Amino acid sequence: MKVLVIHGPNLNLLGIREADIYGTDSLSDIDKKILSLSTELGMDTKTIQLNSEGEIIDAIHKGDYDLLIINPAAYTHTSIAIRDAIAAVGKPSIEVHLSNIHRREEFRKKSFIAEVAVGQISGFGPDSYLLALRATKSILSK
């Protein structure tokens, strides 16, 4: 089971930016948790952080994974191109957010990604990624 986790723009600043919204864990802290659980679940997981929409699309297009976990960050609400890339590769994906986007500003409530994802997990901080990994195991085991 090969899993690709894409962290979108500005997530490289986790632990520094808006800790009241995103928590105090750094991206490195979160990646360690992801990789630890991935090993426990018997999955081969790669994590990457990309700030550029084009780089995110290129990573999706490579398709060297069985399932994509993506936190598109601000691109959630703006990128039809990322949505189309996910749809084009035809592999299952799970959309993840640290904060509950439905309890935030109005513009954050619309996700272009949700309609092409198997599901969306938001509001559980770093555990959102871990819940997505557990869902991944279930999805890929069927």
Annotated catalytic sites, by residue?
22, 97
For 54-106, the DSSP string reads HHHHHHHHH--SSEEEEE-GGGGGT-HHHHHHHHHHT--EEEEESS-GGGS-G
Residue 28, Cβ neighbours under 10 Å: how many? 12
Chain length of the chain: 142
In this structure, are strands 93-97 and 119-122 parallel, antiparallel, or unpaired? parallel
CA distance 83 to 78: 10
> Which residues, in sequence order, are bridge partners of residue 48?
6
The C-alpha angle with vertex 58 and arms to 62 and 108, in degrees rounded to 5, equals 120
